[in-house]
Structures are given as structure tokens and as C-alpha cells.
Structure 1
């Protein structure tokens, strides 16, 4: 009877923490329609609009190691509550920015929001791995990531509905004051609801802290607390930690740069802007919801972006089954090579078919982050904590690569700019091939991680 109660307690704690995965997946994917919205609202260039991604993902580069140091000094649930409070502050700043119509303040709010999410990820990932039988830690993390992916699928649809109605992002067009006011009101509504929901989640986590803590196994006494400096020094001493950091940097940069430009890319006249072909695809057409006007509007394109992230959700399920049968390095090499070829096709060919191909890239992105992460941990000579901290810091690629892609698309076109993600995937393929010959350093339990 006592064992049943203990099992129920662990299950309850797992469900509580899994709610966090959905929350940060939803908030992260909300950036995609937000990029298109602010581009039209504030009449920004393609390069300037990508500062949305920069402001959000730069937090990973600045906060990951401090978050790891914080977690080594406090309990996981205390760090989670602190992270959620930080996220509320970020949402409040974005609310203020929407009411004042000040773009730089939007960027500050996004940085604060992402700082909270960074702390949340550093705390929640290993927490999920620890809740229950160690033999099933990878299953628990994969299951939690399914809810993370569900959040990334829903967010673009809801965000497009709230942010993009009537908004124009094509160069040379100016939105009316009424449309601008409606888009700002949509941003205001979305982040007001987010602020309230995160506040409720914070209260829920605070009240549930003992339930989760009591479900954890007795942790061994820490012999030492590593400083930020020692963690960084340890990570930089390993060539494979550095190589893995570069791989994560390029992967996140490629994935985010494609996702944040996808709305404007699909809306472009060279892709779907003058075509009704997407509406003939049953599930895609129903999700986009044709407004009866020829071509794909920016709102309809924004809803289609859900399938880019939905592909990652499906790919994780399929990829988990494939990883049980095939070598991880070989599977990573295959997926990165296919993603590279798809980007090259989009860049070289363009047209209606390029829109469908671009959406399918998400399917092959699916396994890249966890496989790169675990391959690096297995081969790194640095400690798991230091290597994990470096890899989380490398997520800053999501801040820098989209700026490069945005500038390149200004000089060429939206579809030609995908040559940069193609180069990123080519390097990732080389990483996968090189990992097959590298020495593996066995560890008791690789650190868990998730990007979204």
C-alpha cells in the first residue's frame, strides 16, 4: 500500500513538472508570428525583425552557466519558482511595450522572458530524469518533450490569429492605423493571458514543491560546488565539448532562422503569395483557413508554420523508434544530409513546391538536438555538468544565425537565404560522421536536455 502511494506521488510529481515543458514550448514558438507582426507594425527590415530571435536566444548565451551555478546552490523547485517569476516580469514588460508601441521595450521583455525560460530548462530537464526508475529516465524525458512539441504546434496558429489579421509584411506596403492597433491589441491580449497563466502556474508550483521534492530519490551529498569560472574552464578543455557546442550553435541557428522567417517566406509572391495550392492539402488547408482571397495572406502563412514545428513533434516519435534500431551517429548523418539537401532545393528552385519542402524540414530537425547533446556528452572529456552548461550556452546560435539569414534575405530573397541553414546542416553532417570514430567516455547517466 505504501509502495502504491509512493508510486502515485512520483507520477503526480512527473505530471506537475511536465506542465512546464508545454509552457516553454508554447512561449518559444510564439516568436514566429511575433517576428512577422512586429515587421509590419513597426515597418522593420528583414534584418531588424530578426532582433526578436536575437533578444530571446541571447539569454541562453548569457544565463545558462549562471543558471547551472544557481541550481547547484538551491533546490530545483526553488529555481523553478524563481524562473516563473522572472517570466512574469518579462510578459509584463512586453505588455507595457505593446501599449506604448515601443519596439526596443519588446526586445527587453523578450530577453527577460527567455532568461526565465533558460533557468526553467536547466532545472526541469534533470528533474524529470530523476523522477522515477532510472531505467526509464529517457522515456520520461521523451514523453515530456511530446508536450513541449504540442506547445510549439499550437502557438503559431493562435499567434497568427491574434497578431497577423490584416498585417502586411511585403516590402513597399504600409499597414493602416486600424490594422496596427488591432495587431498590438492581439499581442497585448496574448501576453496578458500568458502573464496570468504563468502566475497561476507559479502558485501551483509553489504549492506543489513538497510533493515534487518528496518524490525525488535521496541525492548524494555534493562534495563541491563548481563556480561559473571552473565550469567554463572545464568545458573549454575538451575538444569534443567545443565541437558539440559548435554543432548545437549551428543546429539551433538553422532551426530558428527557418522558423522565424517562415511566415514571411510562405507569404512571399515567389512561394505561396500568389497561389491557392496549399488550400488543396486537407489538413494544412483546414488549419490555414482560406479567407476567400486569391493567394496566401500573412495570417494564413503564419498558421501554416505550425506544421514546421508539428513535423518535429512527429519526427521525435518516429526518431525514437529508429534510434532503438539504428546507430545514433548514422541516423544523425542521414537526417542532417536530408535537411541540407532540402534547404539547397528551396534556395535553388523556389516556387510553390519550395513552400512544402521548407515545412518538411522540421521533420528532420526532430532528433538533432538530443542526439547532438548525448553524442557530445559521451565523447567529452569534461564533466557532464560543464559540457551540458556549454551546450546550453551554445543555444545562442538561435540569436546570431537568424540575423545573418535576415540580412542575406534582404540582399537576395527569402528562399535563397536558406543556403545559410544548408551550410549549417552540412557541418552537422560532418560532426555526425566524425563522431563514429571518436572515443566514447562512459557515464552513469547522460544529462537530459531539451531546446523547446
Structure 2
């Protein structure tokens, strides 16, 4: 057996690298927000068509989550993580090819491959973080890793907007010049070249630390591996696994639909497109960086989206304190009710104030994913692996609901389309109230959920 003095520094190093994985997938996921606006302008897409960026990315969760869970139940975490990182590199390379060839369909293929790798990575990362160190501090390590994930989701829209959206227009009827189009494609190329290099470096470091990581993980139970069919059957046998899956579907769908349309929403003349009010807000205005032209351009709007995700980062810190004092179902009911009310305000009032309210929804999204995840694990009669697999599959809501919101916004307006997320949050409030009254299944403590 390895002596205790040897793994201490090695395990710390491995934990740092794994935390970098959390940062990487958070950054890549949030980069979709400015990418939706960019491809809309570059390829002259409708609002509905632009949302296929979210569809191509999040459909991977629906198709890959159960196979990833089955893979992880049969092999150790390290082979799964290395395979995931290789898939992510391939996805980045396909997007690079798509940017150089200016083919939208190829962009979607690259996003699907990239997201498939991220899906496998997320399934493997939770138990890995829990195992790398003192078991009594596993929740602290997971929270720390999630903080870096949240930090990445704040940075990505700001950097992505700078690279993708400079001089670009997404409003219907505006012609994008070839020069602006090529600059936007070049920005996409630059972003994914750097991502490809970062992921390759992470893969190398994970390979270097593979023995340390493998030694830190608990030995798998004999004959513990379950096939995809058995996992699905087990998950479908539990009423609460199904309820939780529906809740995750609604939550992720609402959050992603708001985020991917936020850039165009803020740039719309009915919100901030003709206003300079956001530049008067100190931190927000400085981040957006006024170009001196009246109104909020699409690039400036894209940078503001970072505050939607930044609100979620702040909300997780506040939520952690509140969860120590209030039950998870009660807090979830309050947060979902407030989010629904904020969406309704945007729908019914609109105008400049609606832009600030929409950005604030991220603050109340903050605790929803981990709380829904753990509430479901506590009440599900299916195995943890099967329940987790179903919940990760349900992230496919991020593929389907943005398409619906995109179509509704075409028929009505960007702000009126938030009626769909409002309905999702209202249903989540019902889920929270029902879970408060439901029986908790006593078994091993549920694994804390990573943010998607």
C-alpha cells in the first residue's frame, strides 16, 4: 500500500487538475450564449434556427448520459475522463474546420461531439472530486470545484462576445458585411484553438497523474457494472426519479433558453437597444464597455450576459448559507416562485427595466440544479447510478426548450417569449412543494450534484 506521505501532494495536484476540468466545461457551455448570436448574424439565421446551437450541444446529454454511466460503472474513472477529453478535442477541431469552411451544419456536429465529451466528464467528475482527499471534506472540495465552474460561466460570455460579436448585427433585416462576417468567424477560430490547446494540456496532466488518481479512488464493488438497459429500467421504476427528471428538464431548459437568447434580447430595441442606461451601472457598464454609439450593441449586450451567469455564482454562495437554515424544498419553492415572477415582469412590462430583471433571474437559478438533484436522490427508490443517469439525461431540456422559446419569440417578441420559462419555474415550484411532503428514502448520503 502507498504510504500516506506520498499521495498528499499528488492528490492535491490531481484535485487542482480536476478542478480545471470543472472550469473548462463551464467555460465551453457558457460560450454557447455569444455563439448563438454570432451564428445568427454570420449565417443569417432565424431566431428558431440559431437555437440549434443549444440543441446540438444539449442533445448530447439525452443520448450519452446513460451510456456514460454504464461506462463508468464498468471501468475506472481515469479511462472515462481521458476518453471524454479526447472527444472534446475532436469536437473543437471540427468547429475549427467549420469556422474555416463557414459551414453551419459542421458547427453543430462539432458542438455535439464536444458536448458528448463533457457529458462523460460530468458523470465521472463527481465521485472523483469526492475521492481525492479526506472524505469529511468532500462537500467542501465539490463546492470549491463548482465555484470555478461558475467563474468560468461568468467569464466566457464576456470573452466570447469580444471575439465573436465585434461589429456584428443580429437584428432582422440588417445586412452583415463580408468583412464583419470573416472577423466573427476568425474570432470563433481563435476561441476554439485556445480551447483545444487547454483541453489537450488537461488531458496530458490527467495522464501524468493517472496513477495518483486511480490510487485515491475506492475499489469498485464486484459485479457492480450495470448495462444501459438495466440502468434505464431501474430509473423508470421510481416515481421520484421520473419527477426529478422532469424537474431537471424544465430547469435546464428554462435557464439555457434565457441565456442563449439574452444577447439578442438585450440588444433588441424594445429592451436596451436604444438605451444608454446600463452604462450608468458601475460594474456592468465598465464590463460592457461603451463604444460611444447611442444604445447597446450586440457585442455590449453579449458581455452583459456574463452577469446572468455571475448572478448564479453569487446565488450559490448565498444559497449555501440559506440551506444551512432552511429546508431544501422550501428554499427551492421560494427561488422558483421568484424566478417565475421575474419572467412574468419581463413579459408584461418590458422596456429598459426588463433587461435588468432578466439578468437577475440568474441569481435565483443558482441553487436549483444541485437542490433538485439531491432532493430526487433522497426520494428515489432506484439506485443512485440509475437516478443520476436519468437526471443527467434530463439535461436534454436545454436542447428542446430553447427551440420552443426561439419559435415563440419569432411569433411574438423576445421579451414575450419568457412566458415559456415562467411556466417552467411555476411547475418547478409545484415540484418543490410536493417534495416537501414526500417521504425521504433512507440510504447512503446522496452525492452532491455538479452544476451542468
Same fold? TM cut 0.5: yes
Counterpart of 1:239 in structure 2 is: 239
Counterpart of 2:106 in structure 1 is: 105
**What is the Cα deviation at residue 3 of structure 1?**
4.2
Q: Is the 8 A contact 2:7 2:212 kept in 1?
A: no
Q: Is the 8 A contact 1:333 1:433 kept in 2?
A: yes
> SS where residue 437 of structure 2 aligns?
coil
Counterpart of 2:436 in structure 1 is: 436
Could you report, residue by residue, the CA deviation over 1:406-446 in whole angstroms, capped at 9, with x for unpaired residues?
00000000000001000000000000000011010122131
Q: CA RMSD in A?
A: 1.2
Q: Is the 8 A contact 1:388 1:447 kept in 2?
A: no
Instruction: Write the distance in 2 (CA, Å) between the matches of 1:230 and 1:150.
Output: 37
The alignment's TM-score, normalised by the length of structure 2, stands at 0.98
Counterpart of 1:414 in structure 2 is: 414
Could you report, residue by residue, the CA deviation over 1:317-373 in whole angstroms, capped at 9, with x for unpaired residues?
111111111111000000000000000000110000000000000000000000000
Instruction: Write the distance in 1 (CA, Å) between the matches of 2:242 and 2:229.
Output: 16
Structure 1 residue runs without a partner (length 5+): none
The answer on 1:302 being equivalent to 2:302 is yes
Instruction: Write the distance in 2 (CA, Å) between the matches of 1:256 and 1:88.
Output: 23
Could you report, residue by residue, the CA deviation over 1:161-204 in whole angstroms, capped at 9, with x for unpaired residues?
00000110001111101000100011111111111111111111
Could you report, residue by residue, the CA deviation over 1:262-299 in whole angstroms, capped at 9, with x for unpaired residues?
00000000000000000000000000000000000000
Counterpart of 1:355 in structure 2 is: 355
Tell me which moved more, 157-166 or 442-451: 442-451
Counterpart of 1:255 in structure 2 is: 255
**What is the Cα deviation at residue 5 of structure 1?**
4.4
Instruction: Write the distance in 2 (CA, Å) between the matches of 1:69 and 1:28.
Output: 24
Counterpart of 1:291 in structure 2 is: 291
Could you report, residue by residue, the CA deviation over 1:225-270 in whole angstroms, capped at 9, with x for unpaired residues?
1110010001001110000000000000000000000000000000
Could you report, residue by residue, the CA deviation over 1:45-88 in whole angstroms, capped at 9, with x for unpaired residues?
00000000000000000000000111112211111111000001
Q: Matched residue pairs, number?
A: 451
Counterpart of 1:371 in structure 2 is: 371
The answer on 1:151 being equivalent to 2:160 is no
Instruction: Write the distance in 2 (CA, Å) between the matches of 1:32 and 1:122.
Output: 23
The answer on 1:424 being equivalent to 2:424 is yes
Q: Is the 8 A contact 1:9 1:215 kept in 2?
A: no
Instruction: Write the distance in 2 (CA, Å) between the matches of 1:224 and 1:22.
Output: 31
**What is the Cα deviation at residue 145 of structure 1?**
0.2
Counterpart of 1:391 in structure 2 is: 391
Counterpart of 2:19 in structure 1 is: 18
Instruction: Write the distance in 2 (CA, Å) between the matches of 1:97 and 1:410.
Output: 27
Q: Is the 8 A contact 1:80 1:119 kept in 2?
A: yes
Q: Is the 8 A contact 1:13 1:215 kept in 2?
A: no
Instruction: Write the distance in 2 (CA, Å) between the matches of 1:122 and 1:85.
Output: 16
> SS where residue 72 of structure 1 aligns?
helix
Tell me which moved more, 189-198 or 339-348: 189-198
The alignment's TM-score, normalised by the length of structure 1, stands at 0.98
Instruction: Write the distance in 2 (CA, Å) between the matches of 1:323 and 1:219.
Output: 33
1:8-407 pair list within 5 angstroms: 8-216=9-217, 218-407=218-407
Could you report, residue by residue, the CA deviation over 1:120-153 in whole angstroms, capped at 9, with x for unpaired residues?
0011111111222323222211110000001101
Tell me which moved more, 7-16 or 293-302: 7-16
Instruction: Write the distance in 1 (CA, Å) between the matches of 2:305 and 2:209.
Output: 35
Instruction: Write the distance in 2 (CA, Å) between the matches of 1:343 and 1:221.
Output: 47
Instruction: Write the distance in 2 (CA, Å) between the matches of 1:397 and 1:227.
Output: 24
Instruction: Write the distance in 2 (CA, Å) between the matches of 1:122 and 1:161.
Output: 32
Indicate how the Cα distance of structure 1 residues 7 and 208 shifts in structure 2: closer, same or farther if over 3 A, else same: closer
